[in-house]
Structure 1
Amino acid sequence: MTPDSTPAQTPHPAQTPHPAQTPDPAQTPHPAQTPLQLDALGPRGAFRARNRQSVTDVTGTPVAELSLVPPPFTSRTMSALRRAESAPPEERIRRIVEAADLFATGTVAGLSVPEYCLLVSRVGGVPLTEVTSAVDRIAERLRDIGSGIEQARPTGAVTDWRDPLTRTGRAVHTRRGDVFAVHAAGNHPGTHSLWPEALALGFRVAVRPSRREPFTPHRLITALRTAGFGNDEITLLPTDHAGADAVLRGADLGMVYGGEDVVRKYGADPTVLLQGPGRSKILLTADVDWHDHLDTLVDSVAGRGGTGCVNTTAILIEGDPAPLCEALAERFSALPSLPPDHPKAVLPVQPAAGARAIAAYVERRAAGARPWLGADTVADELGDGSAVLRPAVHQLDRADAPQLGAELPFPCVWVAPWRPADGLAPLRDSLVLTALTDREPLLDQLLAEPTIANLYVGDHPTHWMRPGLPHDGYLADFLMRTKTVVRD
């Protein structure tokens, strides 16, 4: 313990799991008046620092205090991770599967599932029903993590040099390091379903949580520790911005979430995997009637709260965009403006000042575009210090309009005309592209385009995902390599 700390209580162990339910705000208490103490999780257990940051909900009400670790604590933690030894592969998988059940159904660190979901919703502004659904999806992916990393392994490679196949020569799948650092995102709980794959592969992991929403990584790491992972195998290191780089420097490899500023800062570093803007898109060609797919178009833009990198930000249509814009605007206008913890909420909520700033940015960025739902309706204030971020729909006049690259943390879509002569250029740099077309030569081109990470053909929303399938490539593509081994 350093002079910066005060003793912390050991987190409550997970109790007997109970069936998960969608929390009812009328029955679930709001965060207590006394802020929850959210400790760092270091190699010796919970750590409560004297330097603590207030975590507020979307109305500005404090709900928690997050301990920010000092630089010496970060340094000692990263050294402890490096000295630690990982359990055998089968045991790692077993622990993660057990942690999935604890995370999704148990009381972890003193919080039941409804209490945890309510905190995440009110702090992050994500609709409560979506938080509850995300918990189930995270657990599903963790329960399937063994088959997921198997699908990422080259079919010609084995996992252990002792495998009999190495006697005649075989590729062995091996780690590119021992310690993995994560600068986590706070826009949606689902982002935390990815990094546990590093634990499954034998890395020791340090997670620097987003100070916007630290509850999900704290809960998940506590569940992983309760399931058997050592304190020196998985840690939670909340830091200020100055300490964030120290977490990365202490690791062999890292993964960082963020926007263009993050891309500029880490884009040239081969040891850092960027999870930047998704810029997911939809292409509609003239041989397909968009009316038949309107539900998918609406869901792609605004589904799951509309905050993710896999939500659609641009639609390119062969033909006149105006009728489609009109239909989208009509559908989005019918969505209710509600607090995030309301059972019928579907749109994200932010503090009113932040929402107004986003609306002002949309107004500047949309210069020259035709607003069907414009910046003037984006920030819908609820009167309690928060504001719903309502959908925006803008029509552009060409496929190379600069607005097509704008990604914002709410349902905001730019619709532009596309012609075959425009080629693939407007469709590049897409995490997901849903192609509503029957033109197979075009699909061949889209699949071959290296800057399109995922291609969905037909009636599939851009936020569609399944366990075992790559997000932006398999994480194992970055964490692992193959070595030839031949032995006597």
Structure 2
Amino acid sequence: MHRTTAPGTQDRDLPLTQDARGKAVQLFRRGRWYASLDSTALCAVSGLRVCLAPPILIRDDARYLRDHLADTPAPTPGARRVILSAALDLFAHGRLDLGGIGLQDAAAFRSELDALTGIPPALVTRWCRALRTQLDALPTTEPDDALTLVSLPGNTFTTLESVFEAVLTSGAVWIRPSRKEPLSAARFAAALLRAGWPPERLGLYPTEPHALSQLVTQSDRQIIYGGEAVARTFGALPTVSLRGPCRACAVVDPQEDVRLTARRLRGWLASDAGRFCTTVHTVACLGDPDPVADELGALLDTIELTPPDAAFPLARCPDPLEAWEMAAAVGRGMTPADRIVTRRPMVVEKDGGAFLTPTLVRVADPVGHALVGREFPFVFASVVAVDGACLHTLVQGSTVVRSAGPRPCGKGAAR
């Protein structure tokens, strides 16, 4: 078994340089950008920080909004779609005023997002196109006067699709960006404003985790991204639409051609840097897993790190310690009978950051295994042998099930 450990320890504090002080993702509240007293550093490489909204400010702003919402006419359903279309063009290509960030063009957005999160410009372009497809697929509906909260994750900004939904259906929209990656949410808020969305009907509220409860309490309905902890806290509320992990798995039939199956699986694992909730993280084989595992591992080893792979561009970790910690988490989840199929080191440090290389683990016994169904924010999957009962358990725990063979595989099946 191959295990990876971090090379020593280092200070986790992220001090800002003198030049970067004051440059921050601000709140947008009561129709204007606002620098709160509370803020936190994001990434020493990017030199950015994010302002945070305390619970008392959230309560006051919700009361203010309800007292003044009727003073600002709401856009018609048709106008909302025009605004969203224009906002998406501006988000992808425009020069926008982001408050504490200042004026930002498309090239600066890509550069700053790369420095903050390691997402390469090639993925930014791809994800902007994906957002256009998502917007075109949404129906036009009759909006109401509700205040909708959208609490976003930090793995991909394609989740801005939920902001599209809120704009089309609601009287006002509040966005809670991820504290790890608030830049894209702030840019889209600026794009909405530039495209004609009423400022009084928009809010951007980065918060500490505990303040999410206040945002939920003060809003009428909520779209919340999160894992098991978020599901336990908010999943039972009737107003909450929970967008959580899909635990996507792929089912491999032994009758399928090994090379064709491995190529198909590579796309399901490695597209979008492994960051989508629909990314496959478990490969369940109804026969011997080793031929497919070995073929797939070899294909994953060919994906280039730098320059970004043309077909499968990967994200990096600007803070190398974050990469080493995730690699260590994989190692802790393995048993002595497991093996890592891919051959490259799991962490490759380069240009001040680190890449987590595409990683495939052959799991000996999937029952209760820590890595089966585990979602990491990089290209990672476990390969397991399953019988009918085990496959049934995996399928029941997944909301996305892909079939790499002709056999039906239950709910959510896709080719």
TM-score, normalized by length of structure 2?
Answer: 0.85
1:293 Cα offset (Å): 2.9
The residue aligned with 2:159 is 191
Q: Distance in 1 between matches of 2:299 and 2:107?
A: 30
The residue aligned with 2:77 is 89
Native 8 Å contact 1:339 1:382 kept in 2: no
Native 8 Å contact 1:127 1:345 kept in 2: no
Per-residue CA deviations over 1:275-315 (Å, capped at 9, x if unaligned) read: 22221111111332232232221121111111221111001
Per-residue CA deviations over 1:105-125 (Å, capped at 9, x if unaligned) read: 211121111111121122122
Q: In structure 2, do the counterparts of structure 1 residues 71 and 339 end up closer, same or farther at CA, with 3 Å as the change threshold? A: farther
The residue aligned with 2:383 is 415
Matched, 1:37 2:24: yes
Q: What letter corresponds to residue 456 of structure 1 in structure 2?
A: A
Native 8 Å contact 1:128 1:343 kept in 2: no
Q: In structure 2, do the counterparts of structure 1 residues 326 and 32 end up closer, same or farther at CA, with 3 Å as the change threshold? A: farther
Native 8 Å contact 1:149 1:197 kept in 2: no
Native 8 Å contact 1:281 1:312 kept in 2: yes
Matched, 1:55 2:55: no
Q: Give the stretch that moved more between structures: 343-352 or 234-243.
A: 343-352
Matched, 1:121 2:114: yes
1:371-382 alignment runs, 5 A limit: 371-373=339-341, 377-382=345-350
1:148 to 138, 145, 148: 138
Per-residue CA deviations over 1:431-466 (Å, capped at 9, x if unaligned) read: 321112323xx35xx14xxxxxx3312xxxxxxxxx
Q: In structure 2, do the counterparts of structure 1 residues 338 and 32 end up closer, same or farther at CA, with 3 Å as the change threshold? A: farther
The residue aligned with 1:101 is 89
1:322 Cα offset (Å): 1.0
Q: What letter corresponds to residue 357 of structure 2 in structure 1?
A: R
Q: In structure 2, do the counterparts of structure 1 residues 98 and 62 end up closer, same or farther at CA, with 3 Å as the change threshold? A: closer
1:67 to 51, 57, 79: 51
Q: Distance in 2 between matches of 1:375 and 1:407?
A: 21
Q: In structure 2, do the counterparts of structure 1 residues 438 and 337 end up closer, same or farther at CA, with 3 Å as the change threshold? A: closer
Q: In structure 2, do the counterparts of structure 1 residues 314 and 32 end up closer, same or farther at CA, with 3 Å as the change threshold? A: farther
Structure 1: runs of 5+ lacking an equivalent: 1-30, 154-158, 160-173, 448-453, 458-488
The residue aligned with 1:76 is 60
1:144-223 alignment runs, 5 A limit: 144=136, 148-150=138-140, 159=142, 178-223=146-191
The residue aligned with 2:288 is 320
Q: Distance in 2 between matches of 1:435 and 1:369?
A: 27
1:422 Cα offset (Å): 4.0
Count of residue pairs the alignment pairs up: 387
Q: Distance in 2 between matches of 1:390 and 1:295?
A: 18
Q: In structure 2, do the counterparts of structure 1 residues 62 and 124 end up closer, same or farther at CA, with 3 Å as the change threshold? A: closer
Per-residue CA deviations over 1:123-143 (Å, capped at 9, x if unaligned) read: 12223211221122223433x
1:331 Cα offset (Å): 1.7
Matched, 1:394 2:361: yes
Q: In structure 2, do the counterparts of structure 1 residues 375 and 122 end up closer, same or farther at CA, with 3 Å as the change threshold? A: farther
Native 8 Å contact 1:81 1:205 kept in 2: no
Matched, 1:455 2:413: yes
1:362 to 299, 313, 330: 330
Q: What letter corresponds to residue 123 of structure 1 in structure 2?
A: L
Name the SS for the 1:312 alignment partner: coil
Native 8 Å contact 2:283 2:384 kept in 1: yes
Q: In structure 2, do the counterparts of structure 1 residues 369 and 230 end up closer, same or farther at CA, with 3 Å as the change threshold? A: farther
Name the SS for the 2:277 alignment partner: coil
* Root-mean-square deviation (Å): 2.7
Q: Distance in 2 between matches of 1:295 and 1:250?
A: 48
Q: What letter corresponds to residue 24 of structure 2 in structure 1?
A: Q
Name the SS for the 2:197 alignment partner: coil
Q: Distance in 1 between matches of 2:252 and 2:374?
A: 20
Name the SS for the 2:224 alignment partner: strand
Q: Distance in 1 between matches of 2:52 and 2:269?
A: 35
1:400 Cα offset (Å): 3.4
Structure 2: runs of 5+ lacking an equivalent: 1-16, 98-102
Q: Distance in 2 between matches of 1:267 and 1:248?
A: 12
1:62 Cα offset (Å): 4.1
Q: In structure 2, do the counterparts of structure 1 residues 49 and 345 end up closer, same or farther at CA, with 3 Å as the change threshold? A: farther
Q: Distance in 1 between matches of 2:302 and 2:49?
A: 37
Native 8 Å contact 1:178 1:203 kept in 2: yes
Q: Give the stretch that moved more between structures: 271-280 or 217-226.
A: 271-280
Q: Distance in 2 between matches of 1:221 and 1:64?
A: 18
Q: Give the stretch that moved more between structures: 344-353 or 247-256.
A: 344-353
Percent identity for Structure 1 against Structure 2 = 23
Q: Distance in 2 between matches of 1:127 and 1:260?
A: 29
Q: In structure 2, do the counterparts of structure 1 residues 223 and 369 end up closer, same or farther at CA, with 3 Å as the change threshold? A: farther
Q: Distance in 2 between matches of 1:368 and 1:205?
A: 50
Native 8 Å contact 1:121 1:131 kept in 2: no
Q: Distance in 1 between matches of 2:60 and 2:374?
A: 40
Q: Distance in 2 between matches of 1:394 and 1:240?
A: 35
The residue aligned with 2:193 is 225
Name the SS for the 1:362 alignment partner: helix
Name the SS for the 2:329 alignment partner: helix
Q: Distance in 2 between matches of 1:137 and 1:255?
A: 20
1:232 Cα offset (Å): 2.0
Native 8 Å contact 2:36 2:52 kept in 1: yes
TM-score, normalized by length of structure 1?
Answer: 0.73
Q: Distance in 1 between matches of 2:216 and 2:343?
A: 38
1:389 Cα offset (Å): 0.9
